Amino acid sequence: MVPDVLHIGPIPIHIFGIMLALGFLAAGWATGVELARKGYARDLASSALVWAAVGGLVGARLWMIVEGWSDFVRDPVHVLFGPGGFVFYGGLAGGAIAMTLFFRRHRIPWLVGADCAAPGIVLGQAIGRWGCQLAGDGDWGRVTTLPWGMAYPYAVVGWNEPPGVRVHPTPIYESIAYFAIFAVLWRLRRRPAPDGTIFCWYLVLSGTARFLVEFVRINPVVALGLTSAQLTSLVLVLAGATGLVAERAWRTAAA
């Protein structure tokens, strides 16, 4: 990671914000390619990007409030406007609501739109995690002695570990996984399949990746020995797997 000291005159330019913007732009590009391939105007992706960004950012902050209610009650201004990162699953929920409204407005079937957006979402995740890594927003993992362990002395949320302590760089783990998932989805998208198949694979693969990474993250356990992110991941994996099973039944019936 690096110190968050970029400025344009007196205006601070935060590394996390830069990577978040790059992630949104990459997601918009991928979504535009898919919209055009399915017969829709490619420039719809620009409008979709705005809707997804607003919905995602609002949803992420609301999820932070729910997860850290005691912190919000104690210091609401810091929780809402502090330097910490955003909760992705909150952003996914907020973005999904916003995109549902967008699809309805432009008469795009939801499953078709979700398939168009899925590769872009995971590409945005892969890039956005580098914002977490470079800014040090608290998404690192547990203490480790592995040779690639890292310290975060310039973390925007503070670094209280003593000298010599290294932790799992979990944002890098996630980024590698999400780039790999993007490559898989980008290849699968051209295969004939019912609408919603790519989105279901996104849910299964990204949910599994997050579930596994959480075992070396520092998030608190909430139930059944699992973190809230793991429980959410299981729900998404189950939803995606259910859709894929339904797809297989559709293929069998059509054969």
Domain tally for the chain? 1
What is the per-residue pLDDT across 8-56, written as a single tens digit (0 to 9) for each? 555 556 777 788 889 989 998 999 999 999 988 888 888 887 877 787 7
pLDDT confidence of residue 78: 56
**69 backbone dihedrals φ, ψ, rounded to 5°:** -60, -40
Q: What are the pLDDT digits (tens) for 131-157?
A: 888 888 788 999 999 999 999 888 877
pLDDT surpassing 70 at residue 192:
yes
- Give residue 3's pLDDT band: very low, low, confident or very high (50, 70, 90): low
**Is 80 inside a domain boundary?**
yes
Q: Is the pLDDT of residue 7 over 90?
A: no
Q: Are 147 and 168 in contact (CB under 8 A)?
A: no
Query: Which tokens in the block code for residue 183?
Result: 């490559």
pLDDT score of 191 more than 60:
yes
Q: Give me the residue label for tokens 């849910």.
A: 203
> By residue range, what is the domain housing residue 65?
7-180
Domain contains 123:
yes
Q: What is the pLDDT of residue 26?
A: 93
- Alpha-carbon gap, residue 93 to 79, rounded angstroms: 19
Contact predicate 140/169, CB 8 Å = yes
Q: Would residue 62 count as lying in a domain?
A: yes
240 domain residue, yes or no: no
**What pLDDT shows up at residue 20?**
83
First to last CA, the chain: 53
* Percentage of the residues of the chain whose pLDDT score is greater than 90: 40
- Hey, which residues does 217 pair with through a beta bridge? 141
CB distance 85 to 56 below 8 Å: no
For position 97, what pLDDT does the model report? 86
Residue 53 lies in a domain: yes
How confident is the model over 155-173, as pLDDT tens digits?
A: 877 888 888 899 999 999 9
Predicted confidence at residue 72, as pLDDT, reads 61
Q: Is residue 148 included in any domain, yes or no?
A: yes
Question: Which whole number is the average pLDDT over 227-238?
Answer: 92
CB-CB contact of 36 with 105 (8 Å): no
Q: What is the pLDDT of residues 57-112, one digit of tens each?
A: 777 777 667 666 566 666 666 555 555 555 666 777 777 888 888 888 889 999 99
The answer as to whether 192 is a domain residue is no
Q: Which residues make beta-bridge pairs with 167?
A: 143, 150
How far is 136 from 54, CA to CA, in rounded Å? 23
Contacts of residue 188, defined as CB under 8 A and 6 or more positions apart, other chains included, come to 197, 198, 201
Report the alpha-carbon distance of residue 18 to residue 22 in Å, rounded: 6
Residue 128 maps to a domain: yes
Angle between helices 44-67 and 15-37 (to 10 degrees): 130
